[in-house]
Chains A and B, each alone.
Chain A
Amino acid sequence: MVFTTDSTFAESVPAPAAPPKTIKLPPREWIKQNLFSTPFNSVLTVLFGALIFAAWRGLLSFTFSHERSWDAVATNLRLMFTAAYPQEQFIRIWVCIGFILGLAAITVGAYAVASRVRVHFLAERTMVFGGVIGVSGLLAPFSTSATVWYIVIGFGLLLPGIAARTQIDEEATLPLMGLLGIAFALPVLSLWVIPYGHHALLDGELIAEPGTVARSSSGPWTVVLIISYALYLLVAKVMNPSAQARLKRAVVGIWLVSPLFLVFIILRDPAFDYDHIASVQVPLFLAYAILGGALLYWLTKPGVGEIGRIVAATVLLAAIGTFLFSAFGFGGMRQIVRILALALAAFALLAPTFSGEQAARRRYVRVWVITVLGLVWFVTAANSPSTVATLSDWFPGGFSVTLMVATFTLILSFPLGVVLALARTSKMPIFRVMSTFYIEIVRGVPFITVLVFFAIMVPLFLPSNMEISQIAAVVVAYSLFSAAYMAENVRGGLQSIQAGQHEAAEALGMTGTQKTVFIVLPQALRASIPPLVGQTIGTFKETSLLAIIGVFDFLFVARTLIPTQTFFLGSLKEGLLVVCLTYWFFTYNMSKASQRLEQRLGVGER
């Protein structure tokens, strides 16, 4: 039998994560049990089997019909994914791709998530894939030679799959990262061999240009591949554990900051005015870092007490004052001064929570200096004019704007959602009512109404001398909307914290804020990871609504731009299918990853 033998049973403790062994039935038995167990089941099987074939055939003939002009998509792929990003600047996009993949490789290496894959699993997937290709060749409206090719390829996959499935030992495994590396390397290698090209529209005529894509992308892809794999090997195999542990902590921060870095430095390429920076930004940074740092170092001293609070409150009033004065005509103050003042006020108010030994106080000041540096850099980069000349005021479009809006929305809405959730569960009735009111109103109305509302209102809330671009207003609106949903997810996590945790924290003499920051929130956020990932997927999907209000996003290109090009008049469905597939690919993989993450974290088990 397949059950575990005595020898394995006798071996000490079994691995905790080992899944229970399922009994594999021989194929005939399996079919009998799962498809034809009762007469009713047999009828269902036949009926739905026919349905699958009909649906698959319908889909194939829809996709490969003569009416489809896939040239429309092939020619416009660049437009769909990057819109009007200038071609001579594509090196910037390569740098971004390289950065993200390299960072992903480092993360995988540091967290050692690389596992092994069973050969049988791979063999089964290959078999199924080969079978599907073979059957598709028969069903689709191909020419005879194409049908033969499809069947040959299908069998070419099916037979090795069967061979591996029957010949190789059931327990044999292969390293996942090696496989991924090969899976990545194969298409890159093919770039060097096959002359992939794109179509170009020249004077209303469609001209195939073989080799253009292969020429322009084989080099960059190879470099990216080699760098990423080398980074992975370096981190996973060469580095010692303590360095890995340090890297682990750093990686999270880098992931959070990198979108800003990539968008505002690499993709946007701001033209910094260095004289101005030296005369204004650097002194500002130094002043805030040194004076603010000294203030915070003093405020975090354990015995400061009431006077510290008064000082913090004064800073807050001053910070709000900077905004107020500009409104009443005392403008001219630099925006960055106000923003930094507000940040300093927040740090000052939180200072008692982080008070303690010398080391803790120094760490707090260090965090403050890094924050100031990041803010100064970000505001400067965002305000410098871009050297990437594009048609619209904002450079990305197509799928990249979808990704960008989704990322920034998540980064902005998460802290806001946490604050709203804390307010809604707090003991202070006024904040609870206000937060509940906001959350319920936003959750009760459709996104499109919120989008229109905030797109008008956000510019109105700003001081008169501050301008905001359309896309920034959209991101703010989207974040305010998304935060209400985030808050409900976080609230679920907060409510799952047992009363004992609160009581224990109070017994240790923690203040309310300390209890929240160090005891409640970490546990609550961990418990709310699964719904938060669900919310992330939803946010990503809902970015498609940007097309309605006229942002040049992915869907907008496929729906409005391509069908109006004279050569591809009315080719709507091809582009939409590509949009569907792209969204599906991303969200499906995200949801699968979240399921794995959930298992890894053991949410709900501990």
Chain B
Amino acid sequence: MSQIGLLVVVVGTMIFLALQAGDNLQARAIPTGFDFVGDSVGIQLSEGIDTKPATGGRALWVGMVNTLRISVAGIVVATMLGVVIGLARLSSNWIVSKIASVYIETMRNIPLLVQIIFIFAVIQTLNGLDEDTGPISGWFVVSNKGISIPRLFGLNGSFQWFAFMIIGLVVAWWVHRRRVQEQDATGAVTYPVLSAVGVLAVFGIIGFFVHPVMGFLGPVFGAMANLLGSISESLLQLLLALAALLLAARRIRNFLKSMSSGGGRAKLVDDDYFRMVFAGVGALAAVLVVFAWPGLSSWLLNSGQDLFELLESRFGSGNGGRPFDAKKPDLNITRFVNYGPAGLTLSPSFAAVFIGVVLYTAAFIGENVRGGILAVPKGQSEAAGAIGLSRGQSLRHIILPQAFRIIMPPMGNQYLNLAKNTSLAIAVGYSDLVQVGTTVYNQTGKTLPVVAIWMLFYLSVSLTISVIVNYINVRLKIVER
């Protein structure tokens, strides 16, 4: 009863606020609507897959790609650095552990934004770009125009090479399993990981020469594209709707099953009904969206078809050349080129955000790693010592696998923070989603729609990261009988 009263008050207040906001929006003539996505805008971006995007939507897309680029790279490098720092913090060498703790205390206690701005200021006062700039002239260049190193990049043949490598992965996995079985059975040391890596390396080298044999995949992808082309839009709508309904039905059935035992079903409370209703309403909403918006299913069909056609052309004949090529930094022009066949370049603003985010997050990851390792009971390492494992062996086989389970959830949080923190790029002008969005709404005045796109994008990134981390957590959980 009191719940309903409270609900009326809360919902009433919200409706009131929403009405108020709507009135005010109209009164102040604040524009809403997403038409800027298709309209042309005159925006010049500092870097990205397309520096002169034609439409507002395209500009935001470039920003999204830039955000993802810096987030993924940042996560990989910050993890490596963080693990090293966490281990260094636990080192028995006084000087090493002291350096690690000073590093952590410094990085954690200075706001990331200040760090990024500071790094950017330092990069801007470096030497200018010249033929012999940098620690290794021509190869490794550090200048006020950015940091550049040679880069390996894929040609058309790389698709066939990767397809070949997938076979290699399967074989390597099989070899690894066989070796582990042998080791378990006989007790002999068989180096399973080492041999799997060896198999992979052999496949990589062989594939470099014989990768055109994978060209037969081209017609296969072509057939897939034709298949998708023959499916009608309404059939897909029907299928999607059926899938949503089936999913909801299965969910409710499983839930009811979990509530009942041999003796009958447990008494259902409000909360349980609410859950079931929620699942049903969700499914109905999905069906409604599918039928009310035919563009969705045709978009799905078309993009699937496009993807397979692209793959067909990549695998087709005439793509048998070298899979890879390497290029040195291109110093002939006054500024570095980030895309296309040239060296791998970090522009000053990218470098500032990247270095800042990596150094900052690594400090937190280091603390997580240290905490995780310390949380493994001391008896584990003592037992490992008692059965004669060396310190390295006990770390690798006993401590780290257990610590990993403890480290993983906070690590997921840090990855989330890193992805969100890349939005500070706006301070140094790296064209990430927030920076591009600011430019777009300054030009079109459509602040609220842009903010909505920001939020949707970051929410889906957060969701993706937490789904991956949760999956790993579930996989790593100790199976208890």
Chain A residues with CB under 8 Å of chain B are 34-35, 37, 41, 44-45, 48-49, 51-52, 313, 316, 320, 323-324, 327, 427-431, 433-434, 441, 443-449, 452-453, 456-457, 459-464, 537, 541-542, 544-545, 547-548, 555, 559, 572-573, 576-577, 579-580, 583-584, 587-588, 591
Contacts and interface: CB of A to CB of B under 8 A. Distances in A.
10 A-B pairs with least C-beta separation: A444-B462, A446-B423, A34-B94, A587-B109, A446-B420, A544-B111, A429-B274, A541-B111, A460-B24, A445-B458
Nearest to A585: B109
A34 B24 contact: no
Contact of B95 (A45, A323, A456): A45
A58 to B, nearest CB: 12
B243 interface: no
A500 B427 CA distance: 51
26 contacts: A34-B92, A34-B94, A41-B93, A44-B93, A44-B96, A45-B96, A48-B95, A49-B95, A429-B275, A431-B3, A441-B459, A446-B421, A448-B423, A449-B455, A453-B451, A460-B20, A461-B24, A462-B20, A541-B109, A544-B114, A547-B427, A548-B424, A555-B114, A559-B117, A584-B110, A591-B109
Contacts of B108: 587, 591
A290 to B, nearest CB: 27
A323 B14 CA distance: 13
Contacts of A431: 3, 6-7, 10
Nearest to A313: B5
Interface in B437-472: 447-448, 451, 454-455, 458-459, 462-463
B235 interface: no
Contact of B434 (A48, A323, A446, A537): A446
Nearest to A46: B95
Contacts of B9: 316, 320
Given A34-B92, A541-B111, A576-B117, 20 more contacts: A34-B94, A45-B96, A48-B95, A327-B23, A427-B271, A430-B3, A431-B7, A431-B10, A444-B458, A446-B423, A453-B455, A460-B28, A460-B30, A461-B21, A463-B20, A464-B24, A544-B113, A548-B113, A573-B122, A583-B114
Contact of B447 (A35, A313, A452, A542): A452
Contact of A429 (B24, B95, B270): B270
B111 to A, nearest CB: 4
Nearest to B274: A429
A221 to B, nearest CB: 27
Contacts of A320: 9, 12-13, 16
Contact of A461 (B17, B424, B447): B17
Nearest to A34: B94
Interface residues of B, number: 63
A337 B121 CA distance: 52
A50 to B, nearest CB: 10
Contact of B93 (A35, A555, A580): A35
Interface string B4-37: 0111011011001101110111011010000000
B109 to A, nearest CB: 4
Contact of A37 (B21, B92, B110, B274): B92
Contact of A576 (B6, B95, B118, B421): B118
Nearest to A592: B105
B107 to A, nearest CB: 10
A320 B448 CA distance: 28
B106 interface: yes
Interface of B: 3, 5-7, 9-10, 12-13, 16-17, 19-21, 23-25, 27-28, 30, 91-96, 99, 105-106, 108-115, 117-118, 121-122, 125, 270-271, 274-275, 278, 416, 420-421, 423-424, 426-427, 434, 447-448, 451, 454-455, 458-459, 462-463
A434 B278 CA distance: 13
B6 A448 contact: no
A547 B428 CA distance: 12
A430 B10 CA distance: 11
Contacts of A579: 114
B105 A52 contact: no
A464 B27 contact: yes
A555 B117 contact: yes
B217 to A, nearest CB: 39
B24 A45 contact: no
Nearest to A52: B99
Nearest to A581: B110
Contacts of A428: 3, 6
Nearest to B17: A461
Contacts of B426: 448, 548
Given A541-B111, A591-B109, A48 B423 contact: no
A591 B107 CA distance: 13
A51 B99 contact: yes
A420 to B, nearest CB: 12
Contact of A327 (B10, B13, B16, B275): B16
Contacts of A559: 117
> Which has the most chain B C-beta neighbours within 10 Å: A431, A541, A542?
A541
A405 to B, nearest CB: 13
